[in-house]
Structure formats: C-alpha cells, structure tokens
Amino acid sequence: MDLIYRPRRLRRTSSIRALVQETSLGPTDFIYPLFVHSGREVEPIIAMPGSNRWTLDALVFEVERAWKLGIRCIVLFPKIDQSLKSEDGAECFNEDGLIPRAIRLIKKELPEMIIMTDVALDPYSSDGHDGIVSNDGVILNDETIENLCKQALVQASAGADLIGPSDMMDGRVGAIREALDGESFEDVGIISYTAKYSSAYYGPFREALDSAPKLIASKPIPKDKSTYQMNPANSREAITEAQLDEQEGADILMVKPGLAYLDIIYRLRQESELPIAAYNVSGEYSMVKAAAEKGWIDEKKLVLETLLCFKRAGADLILTYHACDAAGWLNNLG
C-alpha cells in the first residue's frame, strides 16, 4: 500500500510508545482516602475489600506506608460513634474530636504529609445528611454553613493543609475562605467538591461511615441528597458551580464520582485554569474488587488504565482507594 502516514510507526516498540506517550501517571497524582474510628481494633470494611476503618495508632502506620510508596496527600473520613451524633452535627467542630486528634497525630509523626479533610455534617448528623434538616424536612443552607465554617476552623487549627467542602451548600466556599482568612489561616487551601453528583456510586462509602440518610418517624427526612447534590443528567450546571467556586476562592476543583463523569472532568479542564481533582469513588472501587475476586478481570491492568483515563480526561489529582496498590505497581513493587 502506498501510505504516507502510518501511525503504527510510533507504536512499534515499548521505548517508542513511551517516548510519545501523552499522559503520565505517578504516585504523587494520588490522594489516599482513609477511614478512621475511635475503636480499639482495625475493622475491615466488608463492602470495600482491602479498605479498613483505622484506629488512630494504626492510621499513622498506614500513612507512613503511603508516604514510602510516594503518595504525598491523604484525606481523612471519620466514623463517629452514634452517641456523639446530633441533628446539628455539632461534634464536627469539637476541638478534641476524632479528626482533629488524627490530624495532630499524623502531623507530629509525618509533618510533610499533606492532610486534606472533609467538611460536611453527614458523618456527625443523626439525620445522615450533609446539612441540617429542618422540622419540615428541608436541608437548611445558611444555617449549615455556619457549622461548616466552625468545622473548617477546627481542622485548620489542628494542622490540615487542604479543606474539602463536600456538602454542596450554596456559598460555602466563600464563607469558609472568609472564616479561614479571618483567623489567619490564609495558607490553608480549599479543594472544593465542585461537581458532586447525587450518585448511586456512593453506597459502600456510606456503609463505611454509617452516613446514609436516616428515615425516622419524628420528622420527614429526605430519602436522598438530590436537593443539594447535582442531577446526574446535567453537565452545564457543573460549569456554573465551577465558576462560582472560583469566584469564592477555591484553590482546586473536584468532580465526584469520577469514572462515569469523565466528560465533566474534561469540560471543567477546558473552562478553568485551576487544578482539577477526580474522585474515584467507593462504588467504582468495589466493583473492580468484586470482579477481581471472581477472576473476571486483571485488577492491576484495569486499575492503572482507569487512573490513567482520569488524567487523560484532564484531572491533575485523583482521590482513589487504589492509591497504595497503584503506587506499588507503578514503582514495580508488585
């Protein structure tokens, strides 16, 4: 055949393919989500094989393991004892609460590790929502933000590097930025859950934290989070959310979930110069683990391909429960 252009020339050997590879993936791209509880034993999370609820002491060892693998950022999620939960989630801004203690402990042992936190009420709420639920079943936006600001300040004071508002209340990024700056935490960044969709992919995570909405007889509790999390049918709305978060002072924008929303990651990458994060969420993780346990997939190849796809779509950072496994594979440790 008389062909001038033969794209296969640049696929002929592994060295040539590496030379012209457009997208790269490495351990410093990962943010490792970790669950922590106040119990005495490490608890495996049944719905998330390979993930655990860590005790404070064991958490430090896991963070050190991640550091040695080249991971430079973690995010902490608490499983709060039921006795500490309330309708307003006030435990979230307890200076001696589980997350502030975890932050201080990690910073003492590994001060260079970047610590991201979650800012939302659902782990602390007896109603299981990210915001305060009124007596007539409405998620209260402005009242919730008051507590989120208190939560962010407690986390920053404990040593958090990045505050992650995951609640999807309107105006919370600006309010948190103002609160942080007002207390001389100008250097603490905000990684905003900018496009967080009301998704079925969160199921295993909610089991891990016992943070799903609680249906009770005493007041009407919304059965899901669709009045504040985004409609999976919408994409233009994500641009609006991103523009608002930028105006309010976000440093990093996040899309959650990740795999089913690669188009949203791509659109935000085209619209914004800020770093973009993708959250490879619990449901995505658990499906891979389940298929791997059945022997239906090659876990290593599938995970690395998935993470590379987030980068190709435009993500700079990836929150993933596969972080340590992926870092080990990339380091040729397994």
Do residues 117 and 99 touch, judged by C-beta distance below 8 A? Answer: yes
43-44/30-37 β-pairing: unpaired
With CA atoms as reference, report the closest residue to 312 among 11, 23, 4: 23
Give the position of tokens 């249906």.
215
Active site (annotated) includes residue 196: yes
How far is the CA of 103 from the CAs of 147, 205, 314, in angstroms?
19, 21, 30
Q: Please tell me what DSSP assigns to residue 215.
A: P
With CA atoms as reference, report the closest residue to 230 among 248, 246, 216, 244: 244
Give the position of tokens 């391909």.
305
Active site (annotated) includes residue 256: yes
Q: How far is CA 215 from the centre of its chain?
A: 26
Token representation of residue 51: 């993930």
Distance between CA atoms of 222 and 226, rounded to whole angstroms?
Answer: 9
Alpha helices in the chain (DSSP H): 14-19, 56-68, 98-109, 141-158, 172-182, 203-209, 236-248, 262-271, 282-293, 299-313, 323-330
Distance between CA atoms of 199 and 283, rounded to whole angstroms?
Answer: 10
Distance between CA atoms of 327 and 334, rounded to whole angstroms?
Answer: 10
Distance between CA atoms of 30 and 318, rounded to whole angstroms?
Answer: 5
Token representation of residue 127: 């109603």
Active-site pick, 79, 85, 196, 311: 196
Active-site pick, 79, 225, 256, 311: 256
With CA atoms as reference, report the closest residue to 196 among 223, 170, 176, 159: 170
Buried b (16+ CB within 10 A) or exposed e, 291-300: ebeeeebebe
Catalytic residues: 196, 256
